[in-house]
A and B are shown apart, each in its own frame.
Chain A
């Protein structure tokens, strides 16, 4: 049993436990904090897989920006805990049963049908942060330049959209 495998198993346990914690959290703030831990764990997986840039982007964008936005909205709305109203009592067991079916089928199909040849690189071979960054930058700004520019427009549109959506109410008030 190599050190990689031990690391993977421990981290996988943490990832699944935090995901279930997010699911079970009675308060939306706890769910958000569990999700932050889950994102950080996934970032460590990216490091194990030899993708240091993606790992850092994951921490800054997901664990940093996105979850702070979530926490901000939870606090802003004061909607951390909804009153319990069981409209459909059979919904939860049905959902759990269907989810187990989905997990088994997805795992089976992905492992048998979509498996690429070869194993994961050992990190000591693959992780050289500078090489990874250089290679990623070169590919991003040559082969993938157009998608990169389109992404910038998408972010601009999202920003304008968010401002327009939250600002509309104020303009209508004087009428």
Chain B
């Protein structure tokens, strides 16, 4: 029996590492990976709660989150490829103008 708090603490730590990745990196791909890490941390917390209250709803919610993450990655990576085509870089500091 692992107390639910342990899972929550782990989830918070993973989420924070994801936030840190978004804050300190300038490579758009690594920022995107950090966002995936944050989604995963949230999923872990949801499954832990769902398991603690002995309900399936949390697992279904996580299933939808995974589907949405897949859609997000497809569109996001297409955007990054497109930005790389026009700017020749994926450094987020270079993306400072609205005009492509």
**Of A16, A32, A54, A77, the contact of B10 (CB 8 Å cutoff):** A16
Is the CB of B75 closer than 8 A to any CB of chain A?
A: yes
Q: Given known contacts A15-B14, A155-B71, is B84 in contact with A79 (CB within 8 Å)?
A: yes
Q: Given known contacts A45-B7, A77-B81, A107-B9, is B63 in contact with A161 (CB within 8 Å)?
A: no
**Of A16, A48, A158, the contact of B2 (CB 8 Å cutoff):** A48
Contact A39 B4 (CB under 8 A): no
What count of chain B residues pass the 8 Å CB interface test?
74
Query: Smallest distance from the beta carbon of A15 to chain B beta carbons, Å?
Result: 6
A69 partner residues in chain B, CB cutoff 8 A: 73-74, 77
Contact B17 A28 (CB under 8 A): no
A70 partner residues in chain B, CB cutoff 8 A: 29, 32-33, 73, 77
Contact B10 A12 (CB under 8 A): yes
**Of A19, A61, A100, the contact of B14 (CB 8 Å cutoff):** A19
- For the complex, what is the distance from the CA of A161 to the CA of B19, rounded to whole Å? 27
Q: Smallest CB-CB separation from A23: which chain B residue?
A: B21
Is the CB of B98 closer than 8 A to any CB of chain A?
A: no
Contact A4 B36 (CB under 8 A): no
Is the CB of A91 closer than 8 A to any CB of chain B?
A: yes
Contact A116 B8 (CB under 8 A): no
Query: Smallest distance from the beta carbon of A138 to chain B beta carbons, Å?
Result: 9
* Complex interface residues of chain B between 26 and 78 (CB less than 8 A to chain A): 26-27, 29-30, 32-34, 36-37, 40, 43-45, 47-54, 56-57, 59-60, 62-64, 66-75, 77-78
- For the complex, what is the distance from the CA of A22 to the CA of B62, rounded to whole Å? 23
Q: A2-B1, A147-B64 are in contact. List 15 more A-B contacts (CB 8 A).
A: A8-B6, A22-B30, A31-B33, A39-B40, A42-B43, A46-B47, A48-B2, A61-B69, A73-B77, A85-B91, A102-B19, A116-B52, A118-B52, A119-B1, A162-B74
B residues whose Cβ falls under 8 Å from a Cβ of A: 1-21, 23-27, 29-30, 32-34, 36-37, 40, 43-45, 47-54, 56-57, 59-60, 62-64, 66-75, 77-82, 84-85, 89-91, 93
